[in-house]
A and B are shown apart, each in its own frame.
Chain A
């Protein structure tokens, strides 16, 4: 099992502030996915990154995949209350693209 360390575990910020969530591992992943989950619902895919050094933007969200494909970050600019949720990173190992290893999750709370 490839471990993904996600930090911080909790993040509470004021509306309009920026935030960054990190996902780190000593293992290489063929791809890494970021999900957001709201209470009582399943995770919703935000983005998949597959190329080392790749940067993807989704409105105010910026995702980066490390050059060595071992780590990733999620940056939210000018956070809004609607960004509140549990953010999960998940990596697919090179040997098996189907089975994901999940980070512990980051609970983000954006206060109005």
Chain B
């Protein structure tokens, strides 16, 4: 089956620092990946669509300069939270599309102190 990994699984950082989260499709290639954030006991909120070899497409209300996305290869997309603040603390999940189905990574818990 299609497997998506994320790294790190959790990260704690100080306010003002930047954090990079990696999303990899392990056994398939994905020209399109998606980044979501999720607050406790809530559903997933789509942040942006990551397109291999081109700029990401951001959802309304998501700051592209705050959440930098790079999709440099067919198996890797990265999300960098720049100048992180406590309100950026959340569960970040990526997904990759394969054969009509989206497969999700295990998520990254970001805590900004």
Contacts and interface: CB of A to CB of B under 8 A. Distances in A.
User: Are A and B a genuine interacting pair, yes or no?
Assistant: yes
Interface string B101-113: 1111111010000
Contacts of B32: 98
Contacts of B102: 33, 45, 90, 98, 100
Task: Give the residue among B100, B103, B106 with the most A Cβ atoms within 10 A.
Answer: B100
Given A33-B102, A48-B101, A100-B102, A41 B43 contact: no
B106 A41 contact: yes
A88 B34 CA distance: 17
Contacts of A104: 42-43
Contact of B41 (A42, A97, A107): A107
Interface residues of B, number: 23
Contact of A43 (B41, B93, B100, B109): B93
Interface string B6-46: 10000000000000000000000000101000000111101
Contacts of B34: 98-100
Nearest to B6: A42
B103 A45 contact: yes
A84 to B, nearest CB: 13
A40 B43 contact: no
Interface of B: 4, 6, 32, 34, 41-44, 46, 49, 91, 93, 95, 97, 100-107, 109
Interface of A: 31, 33, 35, 40-45, 48, 50, 86, 88, 90, 92, 97-100, 102-105, 107
Given A42-B93, A104-B42, 15 more contacts: A33-B102, A40-B91, A42-B4, A42-B6, A42-B105, A43-B44, A44-B104, A45-B101, A88-B43, A92-B100, A97-B100, A100-B34, A100-B102, A105-B43, A107-B41
